[in-house]
Structure 1
């Protein structure tokens, strides 16, 4: 898949309704957009292996136990405890090869495998640490893909929420803490992570690609285009930055004022 092919696929995925969003394949397309020279078959094979193991385990184990044992035990997937900031932790192809990564990258595999086996599992856009929500006969449970899929108790959810800066009246609301996130938002969170790390490293080319992927995945949102503009400006591509700012203004009139001010600042640099 070339970079152009990846952009075409992400554009198509961006048009999907939430229930039809191809999470794993879109994540693979994002990784190939970053580096088209790689082979994605290992990543797909890992998903198929997970489906086989989980199907077998569900015959004798509860859904939450079977999912955790499949992903953390059979597939040996877990959090990278020693090199958390490594860029590979946010790349789905590298995660498949290394069997470790960020919570949201691991979560994509959990979601893919669980859904293929008929389980009701969704991402939770928890502040500071991505989680999963699995529906059981006893009610919804929170799972942490970074910690071998273990169940996170309500008291721990509240503690984490307070630590992340949420107010006590919000941190005690489990319905809000465990609100399911659309698959598109899960992949957007991963791309946001890549963007933030790239900007911190002043790798503006990588930052631009991550922001562009977000723009393709959610074509109605003007904010990724503001990040595309900032990344292009960081590379000295001022004409391209102006184009991105114009796109942001077109998508959302509420962004027009900020984008216009940003455009004028960039335009002054061209003169």
Structure 2
């Protein structure tokens, strides 16, 4: 798959409904769009192995146990505690090779395998730390893919929420804390992680690519185009930055004032 083909796939994914959104395929396309010169066979093989192993484990184990044992035990996927901010942690191809990554990157693999085996599994946009929600006969459970898929107890969820600065009355509402999000939102959260790290490292080319992927994944949102513009400005591509700001203005009149100010600043630089 070339970068152009990946971009076309992401464009198609962005046009699909949330229910029909192809999470794993789109995540692969994001990785190829970032770095197309890699072999996808290892990540595809691991994804297939995860489904095969989970299918066998579900015959004798509960859904949450089978999922954790498959992903963390059989496939050795875990959170990267040592080099948490390494760029590879946010890339599904690299994670398949290294067997470690960010919570949301690991979560993509959990979601792919679990859904393929009929599990009712969703991402949870928990503040500061991506989690998974799995439906069981006893009710919904929170799983932490970063911590080998272990179950996160309700009391711990509340403690984590309080540490992020949420008010006690909000931190006590488990239905809010465990509210499922769409697969599109899962992948956009992953791209946000990439953008933030690239921006901090002043890797403006990578920041631009991640912002562009967000724009393709959610073509109705103007915010990614503002980030595309900022990344292009960081590279000195002022004409391209102006084009991105124009896209933001077209999508949302609420962005007009901020975009207009940025455009005027860049026009002065162009002159």
Please name the residue that 2:12 is paired with. Answer: 12
Secondary structure of 1:18's counterpart equals: coil
CA displacement at 1:254 relative to structure 2 = 1.1
Q: Hey, what's the Cα distance between the residues in 2 that align with 1:63 and 1:6?
A: 33
User: Hey, what's the Cα distance between the residues in 1 that align with 2:186 and 2:44?
Assistant: 18
Partner of residue 136, structure 2: 136
Per-residue deviation, residues 151-194 of structure 1 (Å, max 9, x unmatched)? 00011001111111111111111011000010000000110000
> Any unmatched runs of 5+ in structure 2?
none
The answer as to 2:57 corresponding to 1:57 is yes
Asked if 1:256 is matched to 2:256, the reply is yes
Q: 1:138 offset after TM fit, Å?
A: 0.5
Structure 1: gaps spanning 5 or more residues: none
SS of residue in 2 equivalent to 1:140? strand
Tell me whether 1:75 sits opposite 2:75 in the alignment: yes
Instruction: Point out the more displaced range, 222-231 or 17-26.
Output: 17-26
Alpha-carbon distance in 1 for matches of 2:202, 2:114: 37
Q: Return structure 1 stretches of 4+ with deviation > 6 angstroms.
A: none
Matched residue SS, 2:19: helix
TM-score by length of 1: 0.99
Counterpart in the other structure of 2:166: 166
Find the counterpart in structure 2 of residue 41 from structure 1: 41
* Alignment partner, residue 150 of structure 1: 150
Q: Which moved more, 1:70-79 or 1:37-46?
A: 37-46
1:241 counterpart residue number? 241
Could you list the per-position Cα deviations for residues 104-150 of structure 1 after superposition, in whole angstroms to 9, with x for gaps in the alignment? 00000000000000000000011110000000001000000000000
Q: Distance in 2 between matches of 1:187 and 1:161?
A: 22
Match in the other structure for 1:196? 196
> Using the alignment, how far apart are the partners of 2:42 and 2:93 within structure 1?
8
Instruction: Name 2:267's counterpart in structure 1.
Output: 267
Deviation at 1:93, TM superposition (A): 0.1
Q: Return the offset for 1:262.
A: 1.2
Alpha-carbon distance in structure 2 between the residues aligned to 1:263 and 1:35: 30
- Name the structure 2 match of 1:176: 176
- Counterpart in 1 of 2:28? 28
Separation in 2, partners of 1:131, 1:180: 10
SS in 2 for 1:119: coil
Task: Trace 1:87-166 onto structure 2 (pairs within 5 A).
Answer: 87-166=87-166
- Give 1:40 deviation, angstroms: 1.2
